[in-house]
């Protein structure tokens, strides 16, 4: 079976490469010539652990090719995936579906009869039906099928998530579509991965409901963290306690500076808009968005407070700019709210991130970049951990304390043990726990 993947963004590239690893012949298409040129040199345009190796292996095995020739790639395919972006529209937060519809129109012209068109982009309910109408209007004489196949990949562990998913969701409207997708996911079926075959609408809603629920779960534990700080609790112990209840589950209960990334902020906004537009307001999701937005600002204020009554002129060393570890992605990262707020208060900010510099440099004017983690601690009045990269976990806290001008660590990811920080002679402010002072 020949697969063509339209869009070599995060979702399209990882999915295309992984389907080629399953042994299918995959062509990845993008209009961005620079991206395709890079891929032809077997270099991934995104940072994702393991992806470069899979690209090289499958290209050399002859399963994986890259092109800007849209029509030729569609014409040779049995299954065409649409994996183009659905960014938030400015102003109303709704998903911009114009790239999806444009791809559908172009597919209609180039496809051969009985092509199965699969929408992988995250799209609001009803979009797959519209894609069907668009293609049918362009080629009323040609039989084809539409499927919905949302993805649940996490950046940083996308390949593992693709190869070992909790489930695969497939929305179909006919047997041809179902058969094609069952065949594509057969390697996972052999591993007993549940494949949920449902309607187009159910598949579309499932994607948003899953992300909205996870965003809500994180926001819930963040609010519990606030309470723990006030009353002398410890959010990590409370999270373990509730997480052991199988109905709740222990995952996605790490309190932190608020969720970011390219998915949760965009998808919660789009889902809330869908609810409003359809007379079914999603009030929990609306509250989640508001609480999460406020939290990022609140985190900056905590760091400012740690600097004392006159933060202007003080120096903060920041560890981590990416929205989470193992990615260079900074979209909607808490750092993009926190750093400008510090800089705006007259604070000198010096930061390190192992991967995000290229993506973040122009977004964070007025911030200085350091090549090494210890460099950010030099002369810092406070050090703030914004992303839980592994290399920060093992830093020598005494060495850090010796280099700092001040004595406070603000750990927004709870990566250190309070005893260790205090033993190094530093004050420790973390999330969902009391503050620990070096002198107490």
| Residues forming the active site | 263
Q: Is-contact 430 404, C-beta < 8 A?
A: no
CA distance 432 to 305: 16
In the complex, least distance from residue 355 CB atom to ligand UGA, rounded to whole angstroms: 14
- The rounded distance, in Å, linking the Cα atoms of 174 and 84 is 24
CA distances from 44 to 9, 54, 81, 166, 255 (A): 10, 10, 19, 26, 32
Among 82, 100, 172, 263, binds ligand UGA (CB under 6 A): 263
Residues 206-225 that bind ligand UGA (CB under 6 A): 211, 214, 218
Size of site (CB under 6 A) for ligand UGA: 21
Q: Annotate each residue in 306-345 with x if it binds ligand UGA (CB under 6 A) or - if it does not, as one string.
A: -----------------xx---------------------
Number of Cβ atoms within 10 Å of the Cβ of 375: 16
Supply the minimum distance, in Å, between the C-beta of residue 331 and ligand UGA: 9
Instruction: Indicate whether 254 belongs to the interface with ligand UGA (CB under 6 A).
Output: yes
| Binding range to ligand UGA, per CB under 6 A, among 32-40, 173-181, 197-205, 248-256 | 248-256
Stated as kind and residue range, the H or E segment containing 224 is helix 200-231
In the chain, what is the greatest distance between 2 CA atoms, to the nearest angstrom?
80
**Strands (DSSP E) along 87-161, which ranges?**
115-119, 144-148
Instruction: Decide whether 144 or 389 has the Cβ nearer to ligand UGA.
Output: 389
Helices assigned H by DSSP within 67-120: 70-75, 98-110
CB of 100 closer than 8 Å to CB of 280: no
- Give the x-and-dash track for 155-174 against ligand UGA (CB under 6 A): x-------------------
CB closer to ligand UGA out of 20 and 288: 288
Q: Does 185 bind ligand UGA (CB under 6 A)?
A: no
As measured in angstroms, the least distance from the Cβ of 297 to ligand UGA is 16
Query: Nearest approach, Cβ of 152 to ligand UGA (angstroms)?
Result: 4
DSSP string, 228-266: HHHHT--HHHHHHHHHTSTTT-STT----S---SSSHHH
Query: Are the C-beta atoms of residues 116 and 147 closer than 8 Å to each other?
Result: yes
Q: How far is the CB of 324 from ligand UGA (least distance, A)?
A: 4
- Contact track, ligand UGA, 125-154, x by CB under 6 A: --------------------------xxxx
Residues binding ligand UGA (CB under 6 A) = 122, 151-155, 211, 214, 218, 252-254, 256, 259-261, 263-264, 267, 323-324
């Amino acid at each position: 079976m020949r697969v063509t993947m339209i869009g070599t963004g995060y979702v399209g590239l990882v999915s295309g490469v992984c389907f080629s690893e399953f042994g299918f012949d995959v062509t990845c298409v993008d209009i961005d010539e620079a991206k395709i040129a890079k891929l032809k040199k077997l270099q991934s345009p995104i940072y994702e652990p393991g992806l470069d190796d899979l690209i090289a292996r499958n290209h050399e095995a002859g399963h994986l090719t890259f092109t800007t020739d849209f029509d030729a790639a569609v014409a040779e395919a049995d299954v065409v995936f649409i994996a183009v972006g659905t960014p938030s529209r400015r102003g109303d937060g709704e998903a911009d579906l114009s790239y999806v519809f444009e791809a559908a129109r172009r597919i209609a012209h180039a496809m051969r009869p009985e092509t199965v068109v699969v929408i992988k982009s995250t799209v609001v309910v009803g979009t797959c039906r519209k894609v069907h109408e668009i293609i049918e209007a362009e080629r009323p004489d040609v039989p084809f099928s539409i499927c919905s196949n949302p993805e649940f990949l996490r950046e940083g562990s996308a390949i593992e998530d693709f190869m070992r998913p909790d489930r695969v969701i497939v929305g179909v409207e006919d047997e041809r579509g179902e058969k094609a997708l069952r065949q594509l996911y057969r390697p996972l079926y052999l591993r007993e991965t549940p494949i949920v075959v449902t309607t187009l609408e159910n598949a579309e809603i499932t994607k948003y409901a899953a992300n909205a629920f996870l965003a809500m779960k994180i926001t819930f534990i963040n609010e519990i963290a606030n309470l723990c700080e006030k009353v002398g609790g410890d959010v990590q112990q409370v999270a373990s306690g509730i997480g052991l209840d199988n109905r709740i589950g222990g995952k996605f209960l790490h309190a932190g500076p608020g969720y970011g990334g390219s998915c949760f902020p965009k998808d919660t906004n789009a889902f809330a808009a869908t609810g409003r537009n359809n007379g079914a307001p999603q009030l929990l999701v609306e509250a989640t968005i508001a609480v999460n937005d406020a939290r990022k600002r609140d985190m900056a204020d905590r760091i400012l407070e740690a600097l004392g009554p006159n933060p202007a002129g003080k120096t903060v060393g920041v560890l981590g700019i990416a929205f989470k570890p193992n990615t260079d992605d900074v979209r909607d990262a808490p750092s993009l709210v926190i750093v400008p707020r510090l800089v705006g208060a007259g604070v000198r900010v010096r930061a390190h991130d192992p991967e995000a510099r290229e993506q973040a440099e122009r977004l964070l004017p007025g911030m200085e970049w350091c090549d090494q983690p210890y460099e950010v601690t030099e002369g810092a009045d406070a050090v703030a951990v914004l992303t839980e990269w592994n290399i920060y976990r093992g830093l020598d806290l005494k060495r850090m304390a010796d280099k700092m001008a001040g004595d406070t660590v603000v750990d927004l990811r709870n990566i250190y043990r309070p005893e260790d920080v205090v033993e190094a002679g530093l004050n420790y402010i973390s999330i969902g726990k009391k503050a620990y002072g070096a002198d107490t």
